[in-house]
């Protein structure tokens, strides 16, 4: 009897030692996401991990500890990701601790038809080189990752005006279909001041071939905002900015049909709907106690 009891205790000890050190609970809401729609991530787990992240379709974002002791953040599929089943994975100090299945679908946001100068469709050798340089600089920013958050209150729209072109709309330029719209167009007269949507660091200021005068701001935790077609920029790379601080003015530079602000948000490199992101940032701000 003693031998049987000893054997049982040994087996139980082995099971305890072999059990995973992290017992985690992962929630993702909503579980059915449109391409470009961000989802709230809530991860509860014991211990004191130093680095906690969530990943969807190969894109990682940093999670932050909330007022309830759980970890919060957001993930999002890109506009041109595949639809169907997908998995959100949570990691603590580099090890996967939980996973959740979600469903991705493509939302019909209609189409926009634009007519622009033909030089923006058939690029000269010089224009092509300039475009390639511009793209390389912007991709370097979008591909960077700053885990520390710089924003402490919810994001806001840079202009309190009508959205004249929705995020994700199919784009037909001079009759030919191009990439879907990766931001939203906000109505604004030329020269209207443009404030930063949240606290952050100016990552890039560039006069780009297609997007004209452009500003990219890194807000940390994988969030980057972009402001396109500006008539003027008044900030420099590396400059810290506060939410509401003026960074430029509305214009009509680059490939446009008139003055407006093209405002966009990227989350871990994925293009997300700015209106959805602003709404979700309010929830995140509350959960994190900012």
pLDDT tens string 29-71: 999 999 999 999 999 998 889 999 999 999 999 999 999 999 9
CA distance 159 to 157: 5
Averaged pLDDT for residues 71-85: 95
CATH of the domain at 41: 2.60.40.1930
DSSP collapsed to 3 states, 65-95: ECCCCCEEEEECCCCCCCCEEEEEEEEECCE
Task: Give the chain's mean pLDDT.
Answer: 88
Only one residue has tokens 């996967």, namely 96
The upper half-sphere exposure of residue 210, i.e. CA atoms within 13 Å in the direction of its Cβ, equals: 14
Whether 127 and 269 map to the same domain: the answer is yes
Averaged pLDDT for residues 134-157: 90
Provide the number of structural domains found in the chain.
2
CB 75 within 8 A of CB 61: yes
Instruction: Compute the C-alpha angle 161/214/274, nearest 5°.
Output: 45
Whether 63 and 190 map to the same domain: the answer is no
Whether 237 and 135 map to the same domain: the answer is yes
Whether 220 and 90 map to the same domain: the answer is no
Most confident of 174-183, 190-199, 280-289: 190-199
State yes or no: pLDDT of 11 exceeds 80. no
Whether 92 and 174 map to the same domain: the answer is no
CATH of the domain at 262: 2.70.70.10
Only one residue has tokens 């993702």, namely 28
DSSP state letter for 212: E
Structural domain ending residue among the three candidates 58, 89, 105: 105
Helix, strand or coil for residue 162? Answer: coil
State yes or no: pLDDT of 14 exceeds 70. no
Domain extent, residue 15, equals 2-105
CA 21 to chain centre: 31
Instruction: Determine the pLDDT at residue 175.
Output: 67
State yes or no: pLDDT of 17 exceeds 50. no
Q: How confident is the model at residue 12 (pLDDT cuts 50, 70, 90)?
A: very low
Averaged pLDDT for residues 220-238: 96
* Ranges 44-53, 114-123, 225-234: which has the least confidence: 114-123
State yes or no: pLDDT of 13 exceeds 50. no
Instruction: Determine the pLDDT at residue 81.
Output: 95
Whether 26 and 86 map to the same domain: the answer is yes
Whether 75 and 118 map to the same domain: the answer is no
Helix, strand or coil for residue 153? Answer: coil
CB 25 within 8 A of CB 98: yes
- In the chain, the percentage of residues whose pLDDT exceeds 70 is 90
Whether 143 and 76 map to the same domain: the answer is no
Whether 85 and 191 map to the same domain: the answer is no
Whether 153 and 226 map to the same domain: the answer is yes
Whether 123 and 71 map to the same domain: the answer is no
Whether 99 and 126 map to the same domain: the answer is no
CA distance 280 to 101: 20
Structural domain ending residue among the three candidates 105, 120, 137: 105
Instruction: Determine the pLDDT at residue 282.
Output: 95
Structural domain ending residue among the three candidates 51, 85, 105: 105
DSSP state letter for 231: S
């Amino acid at each position: 009897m003693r031998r049987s009891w000893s054997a049982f205790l040994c087996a139980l000890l082995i099971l305890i030692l072999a059990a995973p050190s992290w017992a985690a609970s992962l929630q993702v809401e909503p579980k059915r996401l449109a391409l470009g729609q961000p989802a709230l991530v809530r991860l509860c787990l014991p211990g004191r991990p130093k680095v906690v992240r969530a990943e969807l379709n190969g894109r990682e974002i940093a999670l932050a500890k909330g007022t309830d002791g759980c970890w919060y953040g957001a993930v999002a599929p890109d506009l041109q990701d595949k639809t169907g089943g997908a998995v959100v994975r949570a990691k603590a100090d580099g090890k996967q601790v939980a996973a959740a299945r979600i469903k991705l679908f493509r939302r019909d946001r209609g189409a926009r038809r634009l007519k622009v100068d033909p030089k923006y469709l058939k690029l000269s050798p010089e224009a092509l080189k300039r475009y390639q340089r511009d793209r390389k600089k912007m991709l370097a920013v979008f591909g960077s990752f700053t885990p520390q958050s710089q924003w402490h209150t919810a994001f806001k729209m840079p202009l309190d005006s009508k959205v004249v072109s929705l995020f994700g709309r199919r784009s037909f330029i001079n009759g030919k279909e191009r990439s879907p719209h990766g931001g939203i167009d906000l109505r604004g007269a030329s020269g209207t001041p443009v404030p930063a949507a949240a606290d952050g660091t100016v990552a890039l200021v560039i006069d780009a071939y297609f997007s004209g005068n452009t500003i990219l701001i890194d807000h940390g935790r994988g969030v980057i905002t972009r402001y396109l077609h500006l008539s003027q920029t008044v900030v420099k790379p590396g400059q810290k900015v506060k939410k509401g601080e003026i960074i430029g003015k509305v214009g009509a530079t680059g490939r446009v049909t008139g003055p407006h602000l093209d405002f966009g948000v990227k989350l871990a490199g994925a293009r997300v709907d700015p209106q959805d992101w602003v709404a979700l940032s309010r929830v995140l701000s509350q959960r994190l106690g900012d």
